[in-house]
């Protein structure tokens, strides 16, 4: 793993990351664009402009590109898991309990509204979580980028009837930018009607503003808008940074990672050949459970502890107590 100034030595020669290093960093969610004020929100004296927000988005996608070359997926990317350094405007990813590194899988089920729709239809992994990969990272970070620049999530389309949650809109491919570009005919096919056209009018006006952001390439704003269309309309998952500046940018040293729990530490210790600490108590008995996923197939699910079945059960709408019994 790349090192960062937040490192602190821990037992068994492992390295942990101290959240004290981030105490002056700002939550990205508190800095996003405010549609009512028509400006970015200010936090502790820091405020984005369209230009600096676009630059921060480029840095975030550059981090994804560097990780993808190393076969690492962040997994649960959302607004709440990204901080901004107020001195530089650079982003940092935190609370990465869902990181997928080599053969390490997590029990994370993602965050509603940020999860790639194809993951929502897939079987769970051996830990009961989603099978994140670099493509799903691109989708989630694209949602974050849209939310930062527009102040609302791309799938918050007011429809009649209202769907159960944001993931339902994600799975059906319903987004504000798609309504803007393609009209409402696809909503009719989904047996839905647009309930508020003001949202769409706002998106069009904001796109016109962002398209004027030049950036280093001279047309960074237009490129980002095109990226939103590719992801939310055309279901493409190419990394934005490759469209902007190609393959030469690899700022892997900008990544700030905190390992999530003992399982992550043990896994990293094994991968990097570090000594593992022996557990002081006997390991819990392993449960082997077969859950019917359809009439055609069964998916084996292994858990070390009944409590770790909860993410899997929540993801699939299963009563965990009934499943254990």
Element (H, E) at 291: strand 287-292
CB 258 within 8 A of CB 275: no
Supply 164's token pair.
Answer: 């159960």
Q: Which domains are delineated in the chain?
A: 7-151+219-254 (1.10.510), 284-324 (no CATH)
Neighbouring residues of 36: CB distance < 8 A, sequence distance ≥ 6? none
* pLDDT per residue rounded down to tens, the chain (325 residues): 333 444 444 444 444 444 555 678 899 999 999 999 999 999 999 999 999 999 999 989 988 888 888 778 888 899 988 889 898 888 888 766 666 665 566 677 778 999 999 888 877 776 677 778 889 999 999 999 999 999 999 999 999 999 999 999 999 999 999 999 999 999 999 999 999 999 999 999 999 999 999 988 889 999 999 999 999 999 999 999 887 765 555 554 444 444 444 555 555 556 555 555 444 444 333 333 333 333 333 333 333 344 444 554 555 565 555 544 4
Q: Kindly state the helix (H) or strand (E) to which residue 155 belongs, with its residue range.
A: none
Structure confidence at residue 64 (pLDDT)? 86
111-149 as b/e, with b when 16 or more CB fall inside 10 Å? bebbbbbebeeeebbebbbbbbbbbbbbbbbbbbbbbbb
Q: What is the pLDDT of residue 141?
A: 96
CA dihedral (193, 196, 199, 205) in degrees, to 10, reads 100
Token pair 């959302």 is found at: 78
Contact (CB, 8 A) for 138 and 239:
yes
Pairing of strands 100-101, 159-160: unpaired
By the 8 A CB rule, do 110 and 98 touch?
Answer: yes
Nearest to 194 by CA among 203, 206, 186, 202: 186
Q: What is the pLDDT of residue 95?
A: 67
H or E segment to which residue 232 belongs? helix 220-232
DSSP string, 70-106: TTEE-----GGGEEE-TTT--EEE---TT-EETT---
pLDDT at 76 (0 to 100): 84
**Residue 318, pLDDT score:** 57
- Find where tokens 């009607």 sit: 193
Distance of CA 84 to the CA centre of its chain: 16
Residues 67, 255 contacting (CB under 8 angstroms):
yes
What distance in Å separates the CA atoms of residue 92 and residue 79, rounded to the nearest whole number? 11
Q: Which residues are CB-neighbours of 7 under 8 A, at least 6 positions away?
A: 15, 16, 17, 18
Give CA–CA dist 257/75, Å, rounded: 12
pLDDT of amino acid 322: 55
Residue 87 neighbours by CB under 8 Å, 6+ apart: none
pLDDT at residue 126 in the model:
67
Quote the CA–CA distance of 52 and 207 in Å, as a whole number. 16
For the record, the structure tokens of 167 come out as 């993931």
Burial of 285 (0-12, 13-18, 19+ CB in 10 A): exposed
State how far the alpha carbon of 271 is from the alpha carbons of 64, 133, 288, in Å.
21, 19, 26
Euclidean distance between the first and the last CA atom of the chain, given in angstroms as a whole number: 40
Cα–Cα distance for residue pair 155/158, rounded to 1 Å: 9
- Judge whether 169 and 232 are in contact, CB under 8 Å: no
């Amino acid at each position: 793993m790349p090192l960062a100034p937040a490192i602190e030595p821990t037992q068994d020669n492992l390295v942990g990351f101290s959240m004290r290093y981030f105490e002056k960093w700002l939550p990205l969610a508190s800095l996003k664009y405010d549609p009512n004020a028509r400006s970015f929100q200010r936090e502790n004296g820091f405020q984005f402009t369209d230009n600096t927000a676009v630059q921060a988005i480029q840095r975030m996608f550059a981090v994804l590109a560097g990780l993808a070359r190393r076969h690492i997926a962040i997994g649960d990317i959302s607004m709440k898991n990204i901080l901004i350094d107020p001195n530089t405007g650079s982003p940092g990813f935190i609370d990465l309990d869902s990181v997928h590194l080599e053969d390490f899988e997590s029990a994370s089920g993602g965050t509603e509204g940020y999860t790639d729709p194809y993951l929502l239809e897939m079987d769970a992994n051996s830990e009961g979580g989603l099978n994140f990969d670099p493509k799903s990272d691109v989708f989630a970070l694209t949602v974050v980028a849209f939310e930062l620049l527009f102040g609302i999530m791309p799938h918050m389309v007011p429809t009649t009837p209202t769907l159960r949650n944001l993931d339902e809109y994600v799975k059906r491919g319903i987004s504000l930018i798609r309504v803007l570009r393609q009209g409402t005919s696809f909503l009719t096919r989904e047996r839905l009607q647009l309930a508020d056209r003001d949202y769409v009018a706002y998106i069009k006006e904001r796109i016109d503003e962002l398209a004027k952001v030049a950036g280093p390439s001279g047309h960074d704003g237009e490129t980002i808008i095109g990226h939103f269309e590719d992801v939310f309309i055309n279901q493409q998952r190419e990394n934005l940074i490759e469209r902007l500046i190609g393959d030469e940018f690899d700022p892997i040293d900008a990544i700030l990672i905190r390992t999530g729990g003992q399982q992550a530490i043990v896994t990293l210790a094994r991968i990097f050949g570090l000594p593992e600490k022996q557990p002081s108590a006997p390991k819990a008995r392993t449960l082997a459970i077969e859950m019917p996923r359809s009439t055609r197939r069964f998916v084996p699910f292994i858990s070390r502890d009944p409590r770790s079945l909860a993410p899997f059960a929540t993801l699939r709408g299963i009563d965990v107590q009934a499943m254990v019994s």
